Structure 1
């Protein structure tokens, strides 16, 4: 199943991306205000994340991570494995693979990269994210970095495609700010912000594949 799905996905990625319009379907209501609130003197820092597909129990899955609680704008949030570009990285694809290995223990040489989605900018942390898509031929064994990851969520792709899991609520991401935001209710976790917006574009790509009709 995984090889067939990835083949379909690769074909759609090569034919063009839905881009910002698809991302905005899951954008917080105050996204434009947030961008105005954060006026950074430095250019955005380049970073990359990995959407990693694998097959388990006859279904396509991918991991998300629950971040630890810490003094920062992304404390406790749910994200893809990934992080900032380092000078030792050959490119941002390598960044995504390296960070995935460091955070959830997946050896980079086992990951086959399929393509990438549209870049996404995060105003609070001033990061520009390049989302890459990869897959594994076998179900992975996750080994989380205890400092970086509280929990690994193994998400079924079919659940992500369930429209009933798209909800909306008031979210308080940091002190003094309240945002009306759409989110994915995944395993009783609130997946919102950049992660939800990237997933929104991914869903639109998958909708164009035969997988959605199987």
Structure 2
């Protein structure tokens, strides 16, 4: 059995108090409680993360890459249990091989009114994964942290017509951005994986629109 690596234990300790962007501070009350699983594994290329790509045509987050997750149900004893359950339902990951190692501060998504508990997990015994929930999930990927940290894969995403920009990552045929991109960006910095990068031109910038992402320029 693979015990939790020291680097992940250190990351979990640091992530418990990672800064929350002002727009993502949860309100005093209200919001629908949900959880996502930030599941780290390890391969011959080093640490990786489990991501899903949501199907096109969904009411929320259509076509977007994301961490496995969803609403916390009344039958879930904790956000951690909800995150692991959702990962099993969406990707087929076997819960017995997953160890929960920590939780990030709660985040709020105002556009969907979700309060999200990001749960950190260690894939002690990786299992085969697939798009298990065919109604919501189009694809499942294990993305190496090295690819996420590679400056050549990093982009900026502008939200609507306003001045807000966020991090994006072009990996495994996906453009990871939004809530998921923000968390990955923070974890890369906390884990010591972040590398210097810069936007090289307008083709490296994207704008989030109701129809999806489009290049700026």
TM-score by length of structure 1 reads 0.76
Point out the structure with the larger strand share. 2
CA distance in 2, matches of 1:82, 1:71: 15
Residue 129 of structure 1 corresponds to which residue in structure 2? 116
Q: Which runs of 4+ in 1 moved over 4 A?
A: 169-172, 176-181
Residue 151 of structure 1 corresponds to which residue in structure 2? 139
Point out the structure with the larger helix share. 1
Q: Does residue 179 of structure 2 align to residue 194 of structure 1?
A: yes
Q: 1:177 to 1:76 in 2, by over 3 A?
A: farther
Look up the SS of the partner of 2:135 in the other structure.
coil
CA distance in 2, matches of 1:178, 1:148: 31
**Aligned residue pairs, count:** 190
Aligned partner of 1:108 among 95, 101, 109: 95
Look up the SS of the partner of 2:124 in the other structure.
coil
Look up the SS of the partner of 2:37 in the other structure.
strand
Deviating more after overlay: 123-132 vs 84-93 = 123-132
TM-score by length of structure 2 reads 0.75
Aligned partner of 1:90 among 54, 66, 77: 77
Q: Is the 8 A contact 2:57 2:63 kept in 1?
A: yes
Q: Which structure is higher in RCO with an 8 Å CA cutoff and minimum separation 6?
A: 1
Residue 27 of structure 1 corresponds to which residue in structure 2? none
CA distance in 1, matches of 2:155, 2:194: 21
Structure 2: which 5+ residue stretches go unaligned? 196-217
Deviating more after overlay: 137-146 vs 75-84 = 137-146
Q: Does residue 8 of structure 2 align to residue 9 of structure 1?
A: yes
1:176-213 deviations in whole A, cap 9, x for unaligned?
99975431112232111100111122112211xxx789
CA distance in 2, matches of 1:100, 1:56: 19
